[in-house]
């Protein structure tokens, strides 16, 4: 059974999962990785969700305030051996629930064009492609998505 816990970026399991995420993204993004990496620091993230199965960390995600009504989804990752079990969808839903509890009304996110599984996850969860925002404006490899939360 998958258990979700809410924590913050000081959680040792989150830190370890993000190390694996960065290795994965370095392979996928290639030369673009250094550019993206500068925007993916995990210090001082207050809202982190980690998925566990039998007390083993399987995946994570985080939200960070973007503006007074919007949270940005960051650091979504599921370990390769845990994929295909719906864990990413559960993490994403929990992040959306937490966003609503904090009185935010929208989630935005960026993912790379090469992240096919992530793109499918977000589309399936009701995210719509939007214009690139913030540091991603003009970045050819980026797709940005948003979802209004009801």
CATH of residue 54's domain is 3.40.630.30
Question: In the prediction, which pLDDT does 150 show?
Answer: 86
Q: How many whole angstroms separate alpha carbon 61 and alpha carbon 4?
A: 11
Which single residue is written with the structure tokens 């960065």? 22
How many domains does one find in the chain?
1
Question: In the prediction, which pLDDT does 129 show?
Answer: 98
Question: In the prediction, which pLDDT does 33 show?
Answer: 45
Is it the case that residue 26 has pLDDT exceeding 50?
yes
Of 44 and 139, the structure prediction assigns the larger pLDDT to 139
Q: How many whole angstroms separate alpha carbon 120 and alpha carbon 133?
A: 20
Q: Binning pLDDT at 50, 70 and 90, where does residue 22 land? A: confident
User: Which residue range(s) make up the domain with 124?
Assistant: 2-148
Each residue's pLDDT tens digit, 36-77: 444 455 568 999 999 999 999 999 999 999 999 999 999 999
């Amino acid at each position: 059974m998958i258990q979700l816990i809410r924590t913050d970026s000081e959680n040792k399991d989150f830190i370890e999962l993000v190390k694996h995420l960065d290795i994965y993204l370095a392979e996928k993004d290639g030369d673009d990785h250094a550019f993206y990496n500068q925007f993916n620091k995990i210090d001082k993230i207050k809202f982190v969700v980690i998925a566990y199965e039998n007390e083993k960390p399987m995946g994570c995600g985080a939200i960070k305030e973007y503006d007074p009504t919007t949270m940005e989804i960051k650091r979504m990752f599921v370990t390769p051996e845990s994929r295909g079990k719906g864990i990413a969808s559960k993490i994403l839903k929990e992040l959306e629930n937490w966003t609503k509890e904090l009185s935010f009304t929208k989630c935005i996110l960026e993912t790379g064009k090469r992240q096919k599984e992530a793109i499918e996850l977000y589309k399936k969860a009701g995210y719509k492609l939007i214009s690139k925002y913030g540091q991603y404006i003009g970045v050819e490899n980026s797709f940005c998505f948003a979802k209004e939360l009801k």
